[in-house]
Amino acid sequence: MASVKIKVTRKKGPGSGHWGHKGRPGFVGGSKGGPGSNGGPGSGHHGHAGIPGHYGGSAPSGGSASTIIQTQTYDVDEDGILKGYTEGWERQGVSNARVNVVAKQLAASTGIAEYPVYSALGMWSATSNDNEPIALALQEAVSEEFGVPTSKFQARAIQRWKNGKLGKGVLDHTRRMTREEERKLVRQMYEDTQEKLKAAGVEHIRLYRGIRNTKPATGNVGDNISLESNAMQSWSSNRDMAAKFSRNDYKTARSGTQSGYVIEIVVPISRILSIPSTGFGMTFQDEFVLLGSKTGYDDVKLIDISRE
């Protein structure tokens, strides 16, 4: 097991609010347009573009330095397979430190405005598919950029979105990216991830995924089964975390689901799109976002089955 600590220092003030908006800590905010309005189209303050349509938090002059310590731990098994990679964030005076830092880094690397990047990272914590237009657009961008197919489920959802059957979709244009920007964003995530994981000195990783479904798993514990893959999909290096999703501990499954199971996969590091410190991913879930298989299907091992 090996560990490394990275210190990220940001110059910032606490971020004061304006007209009921708490502001974004460490950022200079856009000014409000006047009583009863939602702010001008990107009116800024001291050089910051602001967020169109949103109240801005003003920042005090100067500001204090804050250090975020990011801890990375690699755990390799006797076969030379990465079986655990965890990240910790020790934050001092910073709210939502990981998303703030990663969004800023990705925006700087890609030239994309910071707010759409921040929104994309925040979206991932809520959903990676379903009926969320940003999530579906990014899934399709990954499919195009890396040459991996979307699943049948994703293809149907994307078609509903394009046919205008997912409601009004994203009305706030400040959250939107062009397809070129979406592809640039996920490519940057991938390159940053690959560079970081090289430090582990391994070529493969063992991951787990908990699934909750209306239909039971096909097979018995210990069997190898074929599973259709999404263009990008959440996995965890923590088997217990996957089991929580199979039991629906986080209440994320749709109603009517009564069968849960946990699967295991060993894949090349080259298939990891992102980890929490490079883009999509939740730190407490030990999450890895996996690129889909070129064939659209993965061979996985069924390691646990739970039914209600």
Residue range 15-72, pLDDT digits in tens: 434 434 444 444 444 444 444 444 444 434 434 444 545 444 443 333 333 444 455 6
Q: Side chain identity at 210, as an amino acid letter?
A: G
pLDDT for residue 130: 72
Give the number of other Cβ atoms within 10 Å of residue 51's Cβ: 25
Give strand pairing partners of 12: 64
Q: 33: helix, coil or strand? A: coil
Domain ranges within the chain, ordered by starting residue: 2-94, 107-307
CA dist 194 → 199, 200, 202, 254, 258 (Å): 9, 10, 11, 34, 37
- The separation between CA 78 and the C-alpha centre of its own chain, rounded to angstroms, equals 30
Asked whether the whole model's pTM tops 0.75, one would answer: no
Report the alpha-carbon distance of residue 49 to residue 18 in Å, rounded: 16
pLDDT for residue 224: 93
- 53, with CB counted inside 10 A (0-12, 13-18, 19+), is middle
Three-state SS for 205-253 is EEEEEEEEECCCCCCCCCCEEEEECCCEEEEECCHHHHHHHHCCCCCCC
Q: 59: helix, coil or strand? A: coil
Residue range 211-258, pLDDT digits in tens: 877 666 777 888 999 989 999 999 999 999 998 888 877 666 555 556
